Structure 1
């Protein structure tokens, strides 16, 4: 369509009558890297294209996954215990759940809240590490930033932890 006159609103070639009624916008030839002979893209179209790019780019950023999950999970190393531990990676708060058989049902999940020493700690980068002891029901809570660690396990109906130490 080199040299054809296009409608500013539709971008299609216009008939002779409407060519005179609207401001012409010249279209570049296919494969051309040059601006149309009429000058740069009209401000309204340029603004709309820029706004669309910003909105689409912002939507992509808003949907980007977190670099680090909020919690870490680890099974207790004890081979005959069906228990999982959970730690909040930022605060170090602990929790634990395990499966239990219940007659006439598919079973239940029993969860144990944070007890002594297992609540929120100083901000850090917390994780869970298991020992290789096959009869150990607890896990280590480690702060990867400071190098401190504590031993955590279920006592009664709560998760308890020793004080963080190096």
Structure 2
């Protein structure tokens, strides 16, 4: 015989299931705007791998504009598995950001060079 669930209990069960599934599907990325005041660039970091990319707004005649994205280049690709974060300096003319490894304190500077995001080697 099928079991009947009152509507409130059913809604609670669906909500808890959705919350659990949403947590499992949550993104693994952090985003941080470049500290330079006249630069509309946002950096993207994969917190588990340390891979860094960036995007910014670009003008294109006759359109609302375009999103210009820069893929990882030298040093900005996946690093060893860890727990990474992005930190902006307070320097108002700095276009890059710091990628930090929260587990061992290593850090590097990442910025756009030509058409790629590049990062210096991780160091303490």
Q: TM-score, normalised by structure 2?
A: 0.83
Deviation at 1:146, TM superposition (A): 1.2
Q: Which residue of structure 2 lines up, in the alignment, with residue 37 of structure 1?
A: none
Gaps of 5+ in 1: 1-43
Paired residues for 1:33-44 under 5 Å: none
Q: 1:134 aligns with which of 78, 86, 92?
A: 92
Gaps of 5+ in 2: 5-9
Q: TM-score, normalised by structure 1?
A: 0.63
In structure 1, how many angstroms separate the alpha carbons of the residues matched to 2:22 and 2:61?
44
Q: Which runs of 4+ in 1 moved over 6 A?
A: none
* Structure 1 vs Structure 2 CA RMSD: 2.3
Paired residues for 1:10-159 under 5 Å: 56=13, 59=17, 62-66=20-24, 69-159=27-117
Q: Structure 1 or 2: larger strand share?
A: 2
Equivalenced residues, count: 116
